[in-house]
Amino acid sequence: MLKPAVFLDRDGTLMEERNYCSRPEDVWVFAHVPQGLQRLAQAGFQLVLITNQSGIGRGYFTQARFRAVQAELARQLAPARLDAVYFCPSVPEMGDPRRKPSPAMVLEAARDLGLDLARSWFVGDKAIDAECGHRAGTRTVLVRTGHGPGESDADADSTAANFTEAVDHILQTRFNNPPVTHAH
């Protein structure tokens, strides 16, 4: 049976926005994110990180540095854990078909992990996260952390002040509202 997932943006959603974060010591996970992730996992959601990392394509840092940042993120999220991480290292100008707002990384994760996109959510701090989620067939929550305060909420199904509020919304509406079908 296919499993529901919560797809997660990284910078500005789970941790403080640090333009092109390339140093583990710059990782600062927002308060209560580990507990929120645990609540989602206990409710049966797979937790999948979907992140654009154009700093790699721009030459600001290497994939090894990205992995070091990810290791620190994982340490700070413990005991919660991500089930998978998908990233796109390309700069926007390259037209990489995997780069958000393309749904390609979400669709790849759905194939790899056996995910039910109609019962899944995408949580992020940018309009491109909501667009990516909608294009993949998920419901979306725009958090008002990171870039969120400056983003339009017109494309998101819901908005939340922070990740904890997003988790509360997902868990409250999970069984109450059927998935929304979006025009593609």
116 flagged as catalytic? no
Q: Determine the Cα–Cα distance for residues 113 and 177; give it in Å rounded to an integer.
A: 24
Burial class (CB in 10 A: 0-12, 13-18, 19+), 105: buried
11 flagged as catalytic? yes
Query: What are the two backbone dihedrals, phi and then psi, of residue 159, each rounded to the nearest 5 degrees?
Result: -125, 155
Q: Which of 11, 125, 129, 157 is catalytic?
A: 11
CB atoms within 10 A of CB 111: 9
Strand pairing of 139-143 and 158-160? parallel
Contact 12, 30 (CB under 8 A): no
Q: Which residues have a Cβ under 8 Å from the Cβ of 72 and sit 6 or more positions away?
A: 24, 25, 27
Integer-rounded Cα Rg, in Å, for the chain is 15
Contact 119, 84 (CB under 8 A): no
Catalytic annotation, residues: 9, 11
